[in-house]
Each structure stands twice: as structure tokens, then as C-alpha cells.
Amino acid sequence: MTQIWIRHGQCIANLQDKNYSFSSDEQDVLTEKGKAQANITALYIKNVFAPKTCLVSSTLTRAKQTSKIINNIVNESDNNLIVHEKLLIEKTNIESLADCAKRINIFLQKLNKNENYLIVTHGHVLQAIASIVLNLNARVSESLIFNNCGLTIIDNNQKLIALNSISHFSKDLLT
């Protein structure tokens, strides 16, 4: 099982430098750049990681929009391959990184070991993944910043292959 974790594409709240955990619906949509990021990411994944994959998405709009773009290209489908998993929602003001890591560990245990996964989520969840896989303390993990549509790849032995890889982007798509 390979897991490719993807932070959602750029959304309007990203441009406004808001705490977008609590952004309004109109701030939670992808920008044109965010859509382009998702498109380029999907093409890269399709060319480098050829097999079709199960796609899992956070329930928030920006992640669902990113997932839909990726699924249409990677799996050549817009059907029910997208599973919205509540375990992948973004943190709230009361959730610590340790609590998020506990949620993610529960989610990881539910994954089918014979499937490959694309998982579209949020920065805080990716910090928790780094904490789990690299055994980092909270202070170090919380200092990590993840780019929109950056790729964090974990192999079938739970070893980190890439952390926030953005090599598939031209400079104009970096955020």
C-alpha cells in the first residue's frame, strides 16, 4: 500500500491569510491557481504512480474540489471513488496535534493494505502524519509548513518517501 497525502489546492481563505479552519463557504472554494495546482498534481500522479487508486477526501469544500479534479484525471472517473472521511477534517481550536494524530492513527488502521490511496486533506493533518511517521515531537511537527497540493508519500512499510514534494510545479504555481 502506498499512501499519497495531498494538501488541498489554494483556496480564497489562503489568499486572505485567515484561519481557514473556520472560513466561510465562499472563502473555502479553490482559486484558479488552486484548480491549476490540482490539475498538475493529478497529471503528475497519473504519470508517476500509474495504478488506479482509492481516493479519500476531507469533507471541507476545498478538499472535495481538489479531490474531484484529481479523481477525474487519475482514475478517469467522477464516480463514487471519492470517500469523504470525517477523520480527515481540519483541526479546531481545541484539538491538539496529539489528538489529531490519534484520529489519523485510527484512520490508518482502517485502510486496506492491498490498496493504494490518494488522500486529500489539510496542513494540520499533514503535520500529524509527519509526527507519526517520523516520530517527531509536537513542537517540531507544528513548525512544518505544507504547500498547497504538495505531496507527502508513505510506502507500504510506513516509511516516508517524500515530505511536501512540490517538484511537479513551476514557480508560478507555488503557494
Separation of alpha carbons 20 and 162, rounded Å: 25
Say yes or no to pLDDT of 93 above 80: no
10 marked as part of a ligand binding site: yes
The verdict on whether residue 6 carries a ligand-binding annotation is no
The mean pLDDT value of the chain amounts to 85
9 is in an annotated binding site: yes
- Is 11 annotated in some ligand binding site? yes
Biggest CA pair distance of the chain: 41
72: domain CATH number is 3.40.50.1240
- Please give the angle made by the CA atoms of 60, 118 and 145, to the nearest 5 degrees: 65
Q: Give the predicted TM-score (pTM) of the model.
A: 0.89
Tell me if 103 is assigned to a ligand binding site: no
Neighbouring CB atoms inside 10 A of 90's CB total 21
For 6-55, how does the pLDDT look when each residue is reduced to its tens digit (9 = 90+)?
999 999 888 876 555 555 566 689 999 999 999 999 999 999 886 677 88
14 marked ligand binding residue: yes
* pLDDT value of position 80: 46
User: Total domain count for the chain?
Assistant: 1
Residue 153, annotated ligand binder? no
Tell me whether residue 34 is annotated as binding. no
Q: Answer yes or no: are the C-beta atoms of 32 and 58 closer than 8 Å.
A: no
CA neighbor of 28 nearest in space, from 57, 62, 59, 58: 62
Judged against a pLDDT cut of 70, whether residue 71 lies above it is answered with yes
Domain that holds residue 52: 3-173
114 is in an annotated binding site: no
